[in-house]
Every structure is written in structure tokens, then in C-alpha cells.
């Protein structure tokens, strides 16, 4: 026992004196696993979304509240946006080009039938974030889209949808396309 204590004490003394003889002490770099990762910022241009502008902004805010790995922000004047949002008279749809990039159409046809504009916006932005339709599905699933019916106004992604977006934008997948081809998703 005495030998262990002496050896441990000697080792501790050497470790403590090493910085004094080896030059100035330097702080250890923070553990990469503990350092918070910055969200990937995606910009959107809702200038062509007409009467749906506030619904698009709310849909983006819902995603910002729901996930940490990506943040949707309005594009600054003159800035090229990752996501273009347009209003038209057809059915809502998304045309992703690569993960986090593409065009969303907020179609008046679905709105005229009674579907909620904020749910439509959040759903279509979900496609740009790499989520597929999950039809048929319950109202609790944002990506169930129109199959949840016009009474469904839930604009929030469920836990599985949030986790999938988090995985899509995790460091290893940022910038990769969710598919090898351009995909048109019509809801």
C-alpha cells in the first residue's frame, strides 16, 4: 500500500510540474461531441406566394421550432434563396432539387377545398427538408398531407418526422440529395 501511494504521489508530482518545465499551459480543445453544432441555414423566397405569405412564414417558423439541425430564414433582398415559394391555382406540390433546395407551390385548389394554409406550407417545406408523403395517414402526421382530411389543421411534424429531418441535416448528409433524381411531390 505504501509503494502504491508513493508511486501515485510521484506520478502526480511529475504531471503537475510538467507544464512548468514544458512551456506555457494551453487550454485543451473542447470535446467535439460536446460542442453545439450550428444549424444549416436555408433561405426561402416567399415573394411569389401572394396571399399565402404569412402561412409560409408560419410554416417555416414551425420547422425552426421543431428541429435543431436546420433553420429556415427569409432571403434578403437580392439574395438567391434555397427555396422558392409560389402561389398558383393548382394542387400544392414541392419540387426538391437537392436536400434543402427546390420550389414549393401553395396551390389554391386545396385551399378552395378547405385545406389549412399553414399545414400546407409546413407540409410542402417538409418535402424540401427531405420528407416523403406518408399516405394514408393520421392528422398527427404532418406528412400525411391531404389524406388526413380538411378538418385536420395540425401543422406540426411528429417525433418521427422531426428525427428524420434531424438525420437528413446531420453533418454526414448535409448537401446530399435525398434522391438521385429531381422529384415532383404532388399532394
Do residues 106 and 85 make contact, with C-beta atoms less than 8 angstroms apart?
yes
Q: Cα separation of 168 and 185, whole Å?
A: 18
Question: Which listed residue (34, 51, 124, 161) is catalytic?
Answer: 124
Q: Cα separation of 90 and 59, whole Å?
A: 19
* 34 catalytically annotated: no
Specify which residues 95 forms β-bridges with. Answer: 103
Q: Cα separation of 90 and 92, whole Å?
A: 7
Q: Which residues are catalytic?
A: 124
Amino acid at each position: 500500500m505504501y509503494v502504491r501511494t508513493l508511486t501515485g504521489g510521484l506520478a502526480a508530482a511529475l504531471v503537475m510540474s510538467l507544464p512548468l518545465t514544458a512551456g506555457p499551459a494551453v487550454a485543451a480543445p473542447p470535446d467535439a461531441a460536446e460542442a453545439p453544432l450550428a444549424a444549416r441555414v436555408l433561405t426561402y423566397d416567399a415573394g411569389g406566394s401572394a396571399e399565402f405569405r404569412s402561412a409560409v412564414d408560419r410554416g417555416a417558423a414551425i420547422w425552426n421550432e421543431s428541429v435543431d439541425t436546420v433553420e429556415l430564414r427569409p432571403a434578403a433582398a437580392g439574395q438567391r434563396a434555397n427555396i422558392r415559394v409560389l402561389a398558383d391555382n393548382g394542387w400544392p406540390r414541392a419540387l426538391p432539387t437537392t436536400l434543402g433546395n427546390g420550389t414549393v407551390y401553395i396551390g389554391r385548389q386545396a385551399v378552395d377545398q378547405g385545406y389549412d394554409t399553414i399545414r400546407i406550407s409546413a407540409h410542402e417545406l417538409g418535402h424540401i427538408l427531405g420528407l416523403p408523403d406518408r399516405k394514408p395517414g393520421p392528422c398527427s402526421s404532418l406528412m400525411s398531407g391531404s389524406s388526413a382530411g380538411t378538418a385536420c389543421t395540425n401543422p406540426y411534424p411528429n417525433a418521427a418526422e422531426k428525427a428524420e429531418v434531424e438525420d437528413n441535416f446531420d453533418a454526414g448528409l448535409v448537401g446530399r440529395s435525398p434522391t438521385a433524381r429531381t422529384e415532383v411531390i404532388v399532394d
